């Protein structure tokens, strides 16, 4: 049996921030369960926004026609068994970096052909400044991914989230334990 592969799309501009702490702990949990886990930092990558040209959904299309670093993301998503979408909550939803990449995933889910994401396992990880996931907008981000998973026929395995107030997420043992557990569940058979 081949090793499972977990790809984490990091939507935060901070490589050592709270969202990174969640992503790192998810990756550790996946590795503990025997999977390979890698993190793609979207911030700094040249990823253009979707232009709604629909070229990706025309018969014979082989993905998005935009030429940018999303091709690297596509390759990682295609080869992954599980995908984690990790983001801080900015202005009541996911970061622009993650939303731009998510919009471009539309090219992988063609109603006329290939669905490169179908059946993949998905985990979500969010950090927010407010005390409540509803007041912060975390619930908005979760709802967006629920709809995206339904559209793409993906298996939403779990969500880990927490408030960064009170010392940050690294100091929240329950959230860090939940992140490791999510990584293990994503790597499971």
What's the confidence (pLDDT) of residue 110? Answer: 76
Q: Domains, the chain, ranges and CATH?
A: 5-187 (3.40.50.360)
Kindly report which listed range (9-13, 59-63, 122-126, 155-159) carries the lowest average pLDDT score: 59-63
* pLDDT at 111 > cutoff 80: no
pLDDT band of 59, cuts 50, 70, 90: confident
Cα gap 167→147, rounded to integer Å: 32
- Give strand ranges (E) for the chain: 5-10, 36-41, 82-88, 121-128, 155-163
Interval 16-33: pLDDT, tens: 999 999 999 999 999 999
Closest CA to 22 of 36, 35, 40, 8: 8
Residue of 3 and 96 predicted with greater confidence:
96
This prediction has a pTM of 0.96
- Distance (Å, whole) CA 92 – CA 73: 25
- Residue 124 sits at φ, ψ, to 5 deg, of -125, 145
Would you state the torsion angle of the CA atoms of residues 173, 178, 184, 188, taken in this order, to the nearest 10 degrees? 160
3-class DSSP state for residue 179? helix
Cβ(70)–Cβ(108) under 8 Å? Answer: no
Average pLDDT over residues 40-64: 93
- State the angle between helix axes of 18-32 and 173-187 in degrees (0 to 180), rounded to the nearest 10: 40
Judged on CB neighbours under 10 Å (0-12, 13-18, 19+), 174 is: exposed
């Amino acid at each position: 049996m081949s090793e499972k592969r977990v790809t984490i799309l990091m939507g935060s501009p901070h490589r050592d921030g709270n969202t990174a702490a969640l992503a790192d702990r998810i990756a550790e949990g996946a590795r503990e369960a025997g999977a390979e886990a890698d993190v793609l930092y979207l911030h700094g990558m040249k990823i253009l926004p979707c232009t709604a040209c629909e070229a990706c959904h025309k018969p014979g299309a082989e993905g998005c026609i935009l030429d940018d670093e999303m091709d690297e993301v596509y390759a990682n998503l295609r080869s992954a068994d599980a995908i984690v979408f990790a983001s801080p909550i900015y202005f009541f939803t996911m970061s622009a970096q993650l939303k731009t990449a998510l919009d471009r995933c539309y090219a992988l889910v063609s109603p006329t052909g290939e669905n490169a994401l179908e059946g993949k396992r998905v985990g979500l990880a969010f950090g927010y400044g407010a005390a409540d996931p509803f007041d912060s907008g975390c619930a908005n981000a979760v709802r967006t991914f629920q709809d995206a998973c339904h559209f793409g026929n993906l298996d939403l395995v779990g969500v880990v989230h927490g408030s960064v107030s009170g010392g940050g997420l690294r100091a929240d043992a329950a959230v860090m334990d939940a992140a490791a557990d999510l990584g293990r569940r994503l790597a499971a058979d």
